[in-house]
Amino acid sequence: DDTLISVRGLKKYFPIHAGWRKRHVGDIKAIDDVSLDIKKGETFGLVGESGSGKSTVARLMLRAYSLTDGQILFRRASGEVVDISSLSERGMREMRQEMQMIFQDPYSSLNPRMTLLELVGEPMVIHGVGNQAQIRDRVAELLSVVGLRPEFLTRYPHAFSGGQRQRIGIARALALNPSFIAADEAVSALDVSVAAQNINLLQDLQEQFGLTYLFITHDLGMVEHIADRIGVMYLGRIMEIAPTHDLFSKPLHPYTEALMAAVPQPDPRGNRTRKRVPLKGEIANAANPPSGCLFHPRCPYAQERCASEEPALRALPSGRQVRCHFADELSLTGAVAAAQR
């Protein structure tokens, strides 16, 4: 089995209390019934508008947030499979060596009072790995691995550009030799050419160290370039999971199609860009979700049944997974058809 991490029925509910007795009257289902597998060495993209819960899923998977329910099975480097959903804080500390996260904002995620040696070496200090000299050598090595000069170790983050700071964050994430890295909008704050360089770096590192990535982004163009498979989230649920090429050539969920249509597409015959078709309506409020299919108020294909009955995420004979009553009947063609609507 080549699965590195397997998420089963992940839930994050926030209880709603009412009255002076603070009676539990319901839950906000921020994340509901999310299941996905990530294979060793692959890049799994998780996409959706902001508020879809994709960042929360990543944080739950790394146990940065407590979860309400679900299993998170992680295959350790030793081959042992651990359900980290039930690990204590101490047990999780050990796991964090193998699971790391890269954050969006390279400006606020690095402590400005720490040198690069301290920043990149900190995970080793926390986990008691190596003596001072070994940590120094390792940090110098990590800096060169991410394309920064080893002499930079005594400098502070303010001396670096956004793209370089991102690399410092990447070096720090690599310090303990993780097998799994979750990148949350990792390059979204950078301008296009710097973002592309850092994406290439992440791809090189993946090959070099056999890393597995969870890539969280709202940027479909970027995820098409980097991900092997993609999960599409809406309002805390997975709407569709498919190999990247299949998803883009034939989306099966109306929400996926709408997301694609909202991305400017290069015209195949020239450099002109096809018109962006904005998604109509707002993402619904998780505290007051629509009945039935959560996407039905925005879905151009909605039928009566959609307002009353919530579709399950189901596997089609093709092996693809989709949460739509009519996935087999609709013939969606993604951005092209949507742009012509």
List of residues contacting ligand SF4 (CB under 6 A) = 254, 293, 295-296, 299, 301-302, 306, 311, 324-326
Toward Mg ion, which CB reaches closer, 103 or 295? 103
Minimum CB–partner distance for residue 70 and Mg ion (Å): 20
Contacts 24+ apart (CB under 8 A), 13-17: 13/68, 13/69, 16/287
Give the residue closest to Mg ion by C-beta.
55
Toward ligand SF4, which CB reaches closer, 153 or 322? 322
CA angle 277, 323, 2 (to 5 degrees): 105
Toward Mg ion, which CB reaches closer, 54 or 138? 54
Toward ligand SF4, which CB reaches closer, 84 or 306? 306
- Pull the structure tokens for residue 16: 């709603």
Return the closest-CA partner of residue 260 out of 304, 221, 316, 307: 221
- The residue range among 30-38, 47-55, 269-277, 301-309 that interacts with Mg ion, by the rule CB under 5 A, is 47-55
Establish if 55 lies at the interface with Mg ion (CB under 5 A). Answer: yes
Toward ligand SF4, which CB reaches closer, 241 or 306? 306
Cα(16)–Cα(137) distance, integer angstroms: 51
Toward Mg ion, which CB reaches closer, 27 or 49? 49
Cα(341)–Cα(338) distance, integer angstroms: 5
Cα(133)–Cα(146) distance, integer angstroms: 20
- Pull the structure tokens for residue 59: 């944080």
Q: Which does 325 bind (CB under 5 to 8 A by kind): Mg ion, ligand SF4, none?
A: ligand SF4
Residue 255 vs residues 52, 86, 234, 250, 259: alpha-carbon distances, Å: 12, 33, 8, 12, 6
Got the DSSP string for 34-97? EEEEEETT-EEEEE--TTSSHHHHHHHHTTSS--SEEEEEEE-TTS-EEEGGG--HHHHHHHTT
Q: Which does 259 bind (CB under 5 to 8 A by kind): Mg ion, ligand SF4, none?
A: none
Cα(100)–Cα(88) distance, integer angstroms: 18
Minimum CB–partner distance for residue 305 and ligand SF4 (Å): 7
Toward ligand SF4, which CB reaches closer, 16 or 307? 307
Establish if 100 lies at the interface with Mg ion (CB under 5 A). Answer: no
Minimum CB–partner distance for residue 111 and Mg ion (Å): 22
Toward ligand SF4, which CB reaches closer, 103 or 295? 295
Establish if 56 lies at the interface with Mg ion (CB under 5 A). Answer: no
Cα(226)–Cα(244) distance, integer angstroms: 9
Cα(282)–Cα(294) distance, integer angstroms: 12
- The residue range among 19-27, 48-56, 113-121, 142-150 that interacts with Mg ion, by the rule CB under 5 A, is 48-56
* Binding residues for Mg ion restricted to 254-273, rule: CB under 5 A: none
Q: Which does 311 bind (CB under 5 to 8 A by kind): ligand SF4, Mg ion, none?
A: ligand SF4
Q: Which residues pair with 212 in a beta bridge?
A: 180
Q: Which does 160 bind (CB under 5 to 8 A by kind): Mg ion, ligand SF4, none?
A: none
Instruction: Tell me the site size for Mg ion, rule CB under 5 A.
Output: 1
Establish if 217 lies at the interface with Mg ion (CB under 5 A). Answer: no
Establish if 198 lies at the interface with Mg ion (CB under 5 A). Answer: no
Are residues 233 and 46 in contact, defined by beta-carbon separation less than 8 angstroms?
Answer: yes
Minimum CB–partner distance for residue 306 and ligand SF4 (Å): 3
Q: Which does 55 bind (CB under 5 to 8 A by kind): ligand SF4, Mg ion, none?
A: Mg ion
State which amino acid sits at residue 73. Answer: L
Q: Which does 110 bind (CB under 5 to 8 A by kind): ligand SF4, Mg ion, none?
A: none
Interface residues with Mg ion (CB under 5 A) are 55
